[in-house]
Structure 1
Amino acid sequence: MARQQERARRTRAAIIRSAAVEFGKSGYAAASLNRILEGSRATKGAMYFHFDSKEDLARAVLETAVDRYRTSAERWLARTDLGALDTLHGMIDEIALRLEHDIIVQAEFRLIIEPDFYRDVQSGGGRIVGRATRVLAVRAIDQGQLRADADPDRFTRTVAAALAGQRYLVDIAGGPVDLRARFQEALEVVVEAMATPEWAEKFRADGWRATARLEELGLGL
């Protein structure tokens, strides 16, 4: 029984992974179930055992992406060896890495900009990152890194908008662009506008203390 359950889990994961590749490449409407099956090496019967429809499969990809965003946010929020802004930088750097290398997260980004999934933006990965950003903004105020009069909500909205804008600009650029560098640049502009002079002086001397590492992302399904 345990072996059968593990085989079913692996089959489901393979289908989700193949679907993410297809949705990321073709979008939802043009995605081909046949190509998804070919990529997963699963049978049509196996696919319909796990998923009722193409929409059901797309939502499984979205849910898997949300789980990955949640894992990233929770891991960084649990760090006790870093100040709040260094923690925020590490988390955002990890999101950039995922957008560059994680096909599940890449597919989520492609799906939520399509009309069929607009409503999923409200419960997607961006919302998880936004909540974590606000928590860290409050911590940064308490730790004397952001000014006492800084508004956590304003900070969170501005960071989110800056990151989303950079992500879309990368698509428009068409050529190779370092998304991590763009995200870092956007974060620094917002942080420096609200940081205390003491933190800013220390940052100019030391830079960021935390970055993400690709090998820590657990990209295998």
Structure 2
Amino acid sequence: MAQQERARRTRAAIVEAAAFEFSRRGYAAASVNTILEGSRATKGAMYFHFASKEELARAVLKTAAEEYVAITGKKRSDDLDPFEKLHEVVVDLATEFKANVIVQAEFRLIIEPEFYSGMRTGAGQIWGRTAFELAEEAARLGILKSGVEPSKFTRVLAACLAGQRYMADLMAVDTDLSALFEESLEVVLSAMATPEWLARWDERGWPIRDAASVE
């Protein structure tokens, strides 16, 4: 059992070190030697767990997908309406983009030619499915504007969030990604939520989350 635990920890350390390297330099320029230095693993240990750099990158993508499942699957208060729940998801995503190197690496890897297919099945699809389900619920409750399809709502929001994420990288400054993501959601809602919902939101704003719900 101790040997299995050591192997698990070694594998996890290699994946995290690889994520850090991929997030900084992308896939093609990433150095296996730098990954080994960061993980403090031997080359033999790395190739015991991963047959190639590509297999290692796919392990990072798989780990990121698991992170997204945890983010989107977090229990939200039943007192929140679908747009308020989506606001929490969006802020949680921004927090992970800022602090979680696995999520940062996934965002960098999926724009590489070797991993384009991951855009159709990977982490973005996981949170997008959650956004779509919440938009469907909003339509059923009558707070999504008549004539707006949940698929359109989700597609536009996803494009806005991706754009904000790329712009934050290009600007290379310590931006508040949560504020940018929140801004994107608010712009989309201003066009696609009902006037009645917008009037209520304008009066009370977003619900304040307690510390326990953020953990």
Equivalent residue number for residue 19 of structure 1: 18
Equivalent residue number for residue 98 of structure 1: 96
Equivalent residue number for residue 68 of structure 2: 69
**Cα displacement (A) at 1:174:** 2.4
- The answer (yes or no) to whether the contact 1:94–1:212 under 8 Å persists in 2 is no
CA distance in 1, matches of 2:144, 2:210: 23
CA distance in 2, matches of 1:215, 1:54: 37
Instruction: Tell me which of 120, 137, 158 is aligned to 2:156.
Output: 158
3-state SS of 1:81 partner: coil
RMSD: 1.9
Equivalent residue number for residue 127 of structure 1: 125
CA distance in 2, matches of 1:212, 1:86: 14
Taking a change above 3 Å as real, the CA distance of residues 212 and 50 of structure 1, as seen in their structure-2 partners, is: farther
In structure 2, stretches of 5+ residues that fail to align are none
Taking a change above 3 Å as real, the CA distance of residues 180 and 148 of structure 1, as seen in their structure-2 partners, is: same
Kindly provide the CA deviation profile for residues 83-138 of structure 1, in whole angstroms up to 9, marking residues without a partner as x.
11111000011111111110000001111111111121111211111111110001
User: Which is further off, 33-42 or 206-215?
Assistant: 206-215
Are 2:173 and 1:175 aligned?
A: yes
CA distance in 1, matches of 2:108, 2:123: 12
Taking a change above 3 Å as real, the CA distance of residues 107 and 83 of structure 1, as seen in their structure-2 partners, is: same
User: TM-score with structure 2 length normalisation?
Assistant: 0.93
> Any runs of at least 4 consecutive aligned residues in structure 1 with deviations exceeding 6 A, and if so which?
212-215
State the identity %.
52
Taking a change above 3 Å as real, the CA distance of residues 212 and 121 of structure 1, as seen in their structure-2 partners, is: farther
Q: Which AA in structure 1 matches 2:181?
A: F
Q: How many residues align?
A: 215
User: Which is further off, 207-216 or 43-52?
Assistant: 207-216
Taking a change above 3 Å as real, the CA distance of residues 13 and 184 of structure 1, as seen in their structure-2 partners, is: same
Following superposition of structure 1 onto structure 2, how do residues 1-221 of structure 1 map, counting pairs within 5 Å?
2-76=1-75, 79-209=77-207
* Greater relative contact order, per chain length (Cα 8 Å cut-off, separation 6+): 1
3-state SS of 1:52 partner: coil
**Cα displacement (A) at 1:175:** 2.1
**Cα displacement (A) at 1:148:** 3.9
CA distance in 1, matches of 2:210, 2:184: 17
